[in-house]
Structure 1
Amino acid sequence: MVGNQIVDPAGQTLLLKGVNWFGFETTNYAVHGLWSRNWREMIDQMAALGFNAVRIPVCPTTLQGVAVSGIDYNRNPDLQGLNSLYLLDRIVQNFDQAGFYILLDHHRPDCNAISELWYTNDYSEEQWIQDLVFMARRYANLPHFLGMDLKNEPHGAATWGTGNTATDWNLAAERAAAAILAANPNLLIFVEGIQENATCSSNTNHWWGGNIEPQECYPLNIPGDKLVLSPHVYGPDVYMQPYFNDPNFPNNLPAIWEQHFGRFAGSYAVVIGEWGGRYGHGGHASDRVWQDALVDYLLEKGLRSTFYWSWNANSGDTGGILQDDWVSVWEDKVALLQRLWSESAGATPTATPVGNPTPAPTPTPTAAGSLACEVDYQVVNAWDSGFQSQVTITNRSSQQISGWSLTWTFPGNQQITDLWDGVHSQSGPAVTVTNASWNPNIGANGGQAS
């Protein structure tokens, strides 16, 4: 980050055209919509609409590798047998390969409800920080792993700058940020606001996580080149705040937004982590007016990087980018976002390979006849006790391959514990992988299997 601007590795200002895709924070322990769609198709659709960043809410149980639900495996055969953690790995890795910047959000401590504080009677601060550090390390080698949103929507008992270590969100955020950056110094730290505060805060109703005002009096002790202030702000479809009934609505809103968070944009990176609504498709008619006014304000302030809530069709109060069929999109919502994006030149990320922490084997593909194949092997993730690699076979011939196998020999004592999209056997360092039942064919002239 340079000044108050998030930049890409080349130093170019990065426009985050973000969307929230939720589900890993629920008791499905999986992104939603997989009962209706293929997961890769949805990521491709996001990219086609112009999104280049995704915020993924998670809860602690998802990180424990439990059984998932809400997936139609006829539509998603390559997800069969994956537990929640491996499914998160798969989704995050694919977003990275597609060039999406990834923000992981610690959303609910119990996978059921948003807590007021970062801890509960059943989930300690120590566990919270451990889970944040776990994610920071697990995905450290993904080039588009952007940052961690420390806690979703502190509210209620949460305070800022009172000196009470049990409730001061700013102090907790500093402790968590220090642990995360020690584990992965490349990440950005997204810190949401609180709700109401006794000091250094106006009396105008704030949203959960939407009050950044105390930052003026009690600035966060987090390195400035790592800190992103990330308020949440909503309209009438979520809750009818008193100021939505003001006779001067919506002209009264910019002053409120400026007080709550906008005035910090000159000194800090400010990225709204959640905003959205039904935009006239049900709900309050005034929500459309509200969203239009917010985009006008964001354009005026130059706050064009945001994460829209949500991709999901099943967000009860806001709806989603997707309609109820989980395929069709609300074109007017997309047009609103494109207006926000189009008035700023932003960098479009491209996937880049990461370094290989262990010597790469030399795979040998085999197929019927004398068909020419090419194999690419990349380590895409690594942690203390293991690593994750992706192997891609490319058919360079003019004939389709029907049935394939791949063999290689590891240079050391590496062992495969999980493998996707193929069937493997291993004897010592020697590995053989054959096609799964759903992917025996590799198309001619550049077709791939991975």
Structure 2
Amino acid sequence: MRSMPWLAAVGAALVALAVAVGAVMFTGIPPAHAAVGLHVSGTDIVEANGQKFVMRGVNHPHVWFTSQTKSFADIKALGANTVRVVLGSGKRWGPSTDVANVISLCKQNRLICVLEVHDTTGYGEEGAAASLDEAADYWISQKSALVGQENHVVINIGNEPIGNNNAAQWTSATTAAIQKMRSNGFEHLLMVDAPNWGQDWQYVMRDNAQTILNADSKRNTVLSIHMYAVFNSAAAITDYLNRFRDNGWPLVIGEFGWRFGANEVDHETLLSEAVSRGLGYLGWSWSGNTDPILDMAAGFDPNQLTTWGQRIFNGANGIKATAKEATIYSGGATPTVTSTTPTSTPTSSGSCRVAYVMNTWNTGFTTNITVTNTGSSTINGWRLVFTLPGGQTITNGWSASYAPTSGQVTATNAGWNGNLAPGGSTTVGFQATHTGNTTEPASFTLNGAPCQVA
């Protein structure tokens, strides 16, 4: 979480990033030992069946907004496969005693659940913060809700566990917390955040990564970097990610914001690099921030996505375009992705083109629809009409309104995507149920004119 004490480090961080650093020795990571459920394999996170799983999701501030349980379904409907859930140990917030219910909400909505204790934020600089040892004690107190959930749950021991004062203590504190978790019988994939309020601008995590990974008797720990203004250039991002890749260390981007100002994180580079490298990412945050510039959904309303929300869910290299559901939710097999093929002969005189891509499972599916203006005039407001095959019913939608929810459906543009310049496109979508028929609509019209199917 972005915190005010962290801002004092920005100037020093940017200087530090300009200093050349020496190469670190490649030592590799031993294979996981009898891993259960989600686990590390080399630099990847994989499921129990060996299928690679790449986190694509957001952070949800559950401990401060415990009534916002609908957020789990809303986040899923927008395409996420993971949600990082903020919990409290009772030292500063909470205690969160509803862990079992949180896990149930994740599973009901086919999300992998990353659970984190937020009380540790800025320890050593923030006087009220909990230690990692206290965070481990909290997890031990919740063990009955966690054991047996290794396929669905990642335990992020403590959020941003050390501030900028004596960041070097992170190595011993993290080592001890991992070992305490293992000695108390936890088999889960563990996630550990960097010091310096998560941003590691003094490179303590980077330079001691192998020590931390070796401390885990299960060889089942993934490192997590939080990227905000320290990572405001492509060079800063790629250099940091390269160090982990070159040394074979597993890494996720557990938090990050967006470039709402010149000195903020270069989120476009971050997203493209994460996708090209197969790294998981979890954006901060769904809603409820003290500084609403970091909210993705205004007032927790999925129909009011902010600029940030639109970018992370619907933008290039965003969640909708790159997320794949965990196979634990699809019977142990890779989810079926049906690419659209033409269902009618394209006409060269058409003024629109539609790409309709489905991701199906037992009784449901999600669909992304990309509408492109192939004409020579700007479209000012649009209505896309198509007929859903029998047995298909829309349950949630994004980036457009849908009426009715079955049969002949009209998708009407949102306020922000109604204008399509020549060659311009927009992507909308929905989640739906089916009774066995997963065929696609036979045709589409945009403002009454037939569209090509791409």
Shorter-chain TM range is: 0.5 to 0.7
**1:149, distance to aligned residue in structure 2 (A):** 1.5
| 1:177-326 → structure 2 map (5 Å cutoff) | 177-195=178-196, 212-215=205-208, 218=211, 220=213, 221-223=215-217, 225-235=219-229, 244=232, 250=233, 253-254=234-235, 256-266=236-246, 267-277=248-258, 283-284=260-261, 287=264, 290-303=266-279, 305-316=280-291, 318-324=293-299, 326=301
SS in 2 for 1:268: coil
Contact (CA 8 Å) 1:207, 1:233: kept in 2 or not? no
**1:272, distance to aligned residue in structure 2 (A):** 0.9
Is 1:350 the counterpart of 2:340? The answer is: no
Aligned CA-pair RMSD:
3.8
Is 1:134 the counterpart of 2:163? The answer is: no
Kindly provide the CA deviation profile for residues 381-426 of structure 1, in whole angstroms up to 9, marking residues without a partner as x. xxxxxxxxxxxxxxxxxxxxxxxxxxxxxxxxxxxxxxxxxxxxxx
Contact (CA 8 Å) 2:110, 2:325: kept in 1 or not? no
Is 1:96 the counterpart of 2:77? The answer is: no
Matched with 2:69 is 39
Question: Which of 156, 167, 170 is the aligned partner of 2:164?
Answer: 156
**1:57, distance to aligned residue in structure 2 (A):** 1.8
Matched with 1:333 is 312
Note closer, same or farther for the CA distance 1:156–1:5 as it changes in structure 2 (3 Å cut): same
**1:48, distance to aligned residue in structure 2 (A):** 1.4
Matched with 1:56 is 85
Note closer, same or farther for the CA distance 1:144–1:215 as it changes in structure 2 (3 Å cut): same
Kindly provide the CA deviation profile for residues 291-319 of structure 1, in whole angstroms up to 9, marking residues without a partner as x. 1121122233332x111111115351642
Greater CA drift, 99-108 or 88-97: 88-97
TM-score, reference length from structure 2: 0.54
Distance across 2 between alignment mates of 1:125 and 1:323? 33
SS in 1 for 2:48: coil
Amino acid at match of 2:237: W
**1:210, distance to aligned residue in structure 2 (A):** 7.4
Kindly provide the CA deviation profile for residues 64-97 of structure 1, in whole angstroms up to 9, marking residues without a partner as x. 977xxxxxxxxxxxxxxxxx523x4322222123
Distance across 2 between alignment mates of 1:351 and 1:141? 19
| 1:379-418 → structure 2 map (5 Å cutoff) | none
Amino acid at match of 2:146: Y
Distance across 2 between alignment mates of 1:264 and 1:20? 23
Distance across 1 between alignment mates of 2:114 and 2:285? 14
Contact (CA 8 Å) 1:177, 1:222: kept in 2 or not? yes
**1:116, distance to aligned residue in structure 2 (A):** 2.6
Contact (CA 8 Å) 2:140, 2:184: kept in 1 or not? yes
Amino acid at match of 2:298: Q
Distance across 1 between alignment mates of 2:119 and 2:190? 18
TM-score, reference length from structure 1: 0.54
**1:5, distance to aligned residue in structure 2 (A):** 1.2
Distance across 2 between alignment mates of 1:124 and 1:96? 30
Distance across 2 between alignment mates of 1:217 and 1:178? 15
Structure 2, unaligned stretches of length 5 or more? 1-39, 333-434, 436-454
Amino acid at match of 2:108: Q
Note closer, same or farther for the CA distance 1:270–1:318 as it changes in structure 2 (3 Å cut): farther
Distance across 2 between alignment mates of 1:234 and 1:15? 21
SS in 2 for 1:194: coil
Contact (CA 8 Å) 2:189, 2:220: kept in 1 or not? yes
Contact (CA 8 Å) 1:313, 1:324: kept in 2 or not? yes
Distance across 1 between alignment mates of 2:92 and 2:288? 25
Distance across 2 between alignment mates of 1:225 and 1:191? 13
Distance across 2 between alignment mates of 1:56 and 1:351? 23
Kindly provide the CA deviation profile for residues 213-242 of structure 1, in whole angstroms up to 9, marking residues without a partner as x. 22268554224731101011014xxxxx5x
| 1:67-106 → structure 2 map (5 Å cutoff) | 84-86=96-98, 88-106=99-117
Note closer, same or farther for the CA distance 1:135–1:157 as it changes in structure 2 (3 Å cut): farther
Note closer, same or farther for the CA distance 1:7–1:212 as it changes in structure 2 (3 Å cut): same
SS in 2 for 1:95: helix
Contact (CA 8 Å) 1:274, 1:306: kept in 2 or not? yes
Query: What is the count of residue pairs matched by the alignment?
Result: 287
Distance across 2 between alignment mates of 1:135 and 1:257? 36
**1:128, distance to aligned residue in structure 2 (A):** 3.2
Question: Which of 38, 46, 50 is the aligned partner of 1:7?
Answer: 46
Identical pairs, percent: 18
Distance across 2 between alignment mates of 1:108 and 1:314? 16
Amino acid at match of 1:18: G
Kindly provide the CA deviation profile for residues 102-127 of structure 1, in whole angstroms up to 9, marking residues without a partner as x. 11112115xxxx33349968856653
Kindly provide the CA deviation profile for residues 120-140 of structure 1, in whole angstroms up to 9, marking residues without a partner as x. 688566533311322344321
SS in 1 for 2:329: coil
Contact (CA 8 Å) 2:115, 2:154: kept in 1 or not? yes
Amino acid at match of 1:91: V
Amino acid at match of 1:212: M
Amino acid at match of 1:52: N
**1:21, distance to aligned residue in structure 2 (A):** 0.3
Contact (CA 8 Å) 2:285, 2:295: kept in 1 or not? yes
Contact (CA 8 Å) 2:132, 2:174: kept in 1 or not? no
